Chains A and B, each alone.
Chain A
Amino acid sequence: MKSTLSLFAILMMALLPLQAADLTARQIMERVDDRDDGDNGISDMVMTLIDKKGNKRARKIRSYIKDKGEDKQRIMFFMAPADVKDTGFLTYDYDDYSKDDDQWLYLPALGKSKRIASSDKSGSFMGSDFNYSDMTSRNLDAYDFRILDEKEVRGAKTWVIEAIPKTEEEIDETGYSKSVLFVRQDNYMVVRAVLWVNEGGRIKYMDSPKIELIDGIWFATKQTMTTKKNRRTVHKTELNFYNIKFNQPLDQAMFSLRRLEKGL
């Protein structure tokens, strides 16, 4: 649980806005990393995949998250479409970057759960434009950060921070050779990001057009990721979150293989 610390941070920032301006890029990113993003949360997510012709395809997913120490656990079940209903994913995202994340999946049609071994986070998350590294936190030590500019995004002041990976390994793992993040100065949320994909000349644009304060936690209830190539959209994903609740009584059994196989 980081909430007390983060609440304190928000308080500090409200009281001392001038100090914030003097932060280094690295310090800002640390605050982004330390921001309270909720614990014991439940949410429903509609993932809409939009191809370049505008064809849409929706998936509905219920997910549960829990912090276990510094690690993050997540279990997700597909609710729609019917063909993949009850397909489940269980992930343990370890704070220790040297350790590969664990991932299991359960295919109801197969009646079996499988552990997925992959050290690569650059692959697509559920066929969307988001990849796994977008869904997990980054290892700050693997980057050089630099403040490029300050810009307003939808009326809120942001720092525009460039992040360059220090190692080829980090590039391979995240799939990005460079990123530029728009960090809101009032709540340390990354509300926009431009991500340069390592291969194929693609650039991805993450945007959080809707941010809400839920149970005291800033949450992007709408997020988009648009993949572009030569300034043209190749594909786009829209995530809309509903029924978000934090601090729910979720016990450890919720994040187990047994639960994964049992379904919702």
Chain B
Amino acid sequence: MNHIISPLDLSVEELDKLLDLANDIERDPEKYAHACEGKRLASLFYEPSTRTRLSFEAAMMNLGGKVLGFSEQGSSSATKGESVADTIRVVSCYAHIAAIRHPKEGAALVASMASQIPVINAGDGGHQHPTQTLTDLLTIRSMKGRLDNLTIGLCGDLRFGRTVHSLIEALVRYDNVNFILISPEELRVPSYIREGVLQKNNVSYREVVRLEEALPDLDLLYMTRVQRERFFNENDYVRMKDFYILDEIKMKLAGPDMLVLHPLPRVNEISVEVDKDPRAAYFKQAQYGVYVRMALILTLLNLA
């Protein structure tokens, strides 16, 4: 049984194959329009999500498959106290593949351990979000033409921002990738990323507080939102949320080829005036998210 719980569940070779398939889907979506006929995706979303859930559902529908599930914890049996393991055992009888988002870290791993069908982690708390990473990798590879020899700035909430953790873990496997970690002191990357991933793999990185300091050196700027739901204390959230705002003035400090990515939703960390800048790639990134999820569903169902 194949599951995708962490971006590292795919080897570099498997990842290349998956991204090639996604690019082929982008070129000729019609070729895949009936590939999942008769298959069902269980979309198990224990916390609110618009983009990821709709992206998974659109991906399955684009492949000719069907979708069932729930979109918030309140409409699942979790309110009756059902465990994640029991839920997935039951869902295994109804669907061929499942995408699960849960506020608790490690929930998707627990689901995969009990499941009879492939499980895709669609985000587990502040921990991992592998399909966002696959989206990011596809966007970078498609728009920059490579995944190696890059200097990447990660900006915002690097402590609770799971997309950032997953992206770092995936990119350290490529040659000559350098990171500039841009965050306030309180939102720096957690120890398991700094020690367990960056230092362990001898990856070059530096931590800075000012975005302006990093911008001239970047091939890619990955902005993130400071997420209210990750804070226990409202005051901390309010203090942090406007720390970084990317606007036209700051964009002038960046090189002509620097891409701006964002996992979305954006609140105010990227001014809307930046949207028309040709370096803004975040809406294109959302489109790549559908292609890569289509490729992942096909691969996990052995239909590729």
Partners in one complex: no
Mark A residues whose CB is within 8 Å of B: none
Binding site for A on B (CB under 8 A): none
